Amino acid sequence: MARRSKEEVSESFHNAPSSSPEGGSASELGRRGFLAWFLGIGTVSVAGALSVPLVRFALDPLTRTSTETEWSDLGSVDDFTETEVPQKRTISIIQIDGWRKVTSDKVIYVIKGADGTLGVFTAVCPHLGCSVKWNDNNHQFKCPCHNGTFTNVGKLVSGPPPRDMDTLESKVEDGHLKVRYQSFRNLVKTKEVMA
């Protein structure tokens, strides 16, 4: 076999396609790299687009208000004839707390006004939220935490509470007194429903 000259060997070396240790040409590797990059970007974009509604769905309960409650039936209006001493009732309410439905007992008071209308108010003190109790001896409501006192219709008499006891929305339906329980912000002069 004829031996090739040094120049021929050198020329054929330069004309040969460049190769990598893995066996692919440089241009092939470039195409593969671009394809991998393109697929990676596409995957991340699709995952990002899909994750938005999923995250919204997952967080939705956290953004819902927890103060919307059903009307509670307090019984016949004929049961509420007292105009001097507020009548205590305990109602069970259901509230939405994130992903959970929470049932809790709430104390309320009902008193009949001079005009015959029924007033309903919560026992939660508007100062720091302690439970206000009726005191027969003083004929007043008294808060045990910081001695806030209120009249029998919930008007502030003395102490640190910034406002009267909070009245609740009520109505008479088919001869029954109904109330819609809500929670209100503490430490402010005006009644604000908690969001």
* Binding-site ranges for ligand FES (CB under 6 A): 125, 127-128, 130, 143, 145-146, 148, 159-161
Q: Can you say whether the dihedral through the CA atoms of 170, 172, 173, 174 is positive or negative?
A: positive
* Nearest residue (CB) to ligand FES, 163 versus 178: 163
* Nearest residue (CB) to ligand FES, 28 versus 164: 164
Q: How far apart are the first and last CA of the chain?
A: 95
The dihedral over CA atoms of 158, 160, 163, 165, expressed in degrees to the nearest 10, equals -70
Contacts of range 153-160, beta carbons closer than 8 Å, 24 or more positions apart: 153/86, 153/111, 153/113, 153/119, 154/109, 154/119, 154/121, 159/127, 160/127
* Shortest Å, Cβ 95 to ligand FES: 22
Which DSSP category does 85 fall into? Answer: S
Reading the block at residue 157, the tokens are: 């008499």
* Shortest Å, Cβ 153 to ligand FES: 17
* Nearest residue (CB) to ligand FES, 86 versus 148: 148
* Shortest Å, Cβ 123 to ligand FES: 10
* Nearest residue (CB) to ligand FES, 118 versus 168: 168
Distance CA 75, CA 67 (A): 23
* Nearest residue (CB) to ligand FES, 119 versus 161: 161
* Shortest Å, Cβ 87 to ligand FES: 21
* Shortest Å, Cβ 128 to ligand FES: 4
Q: Residue holding tokens 């991340």?
A: 44
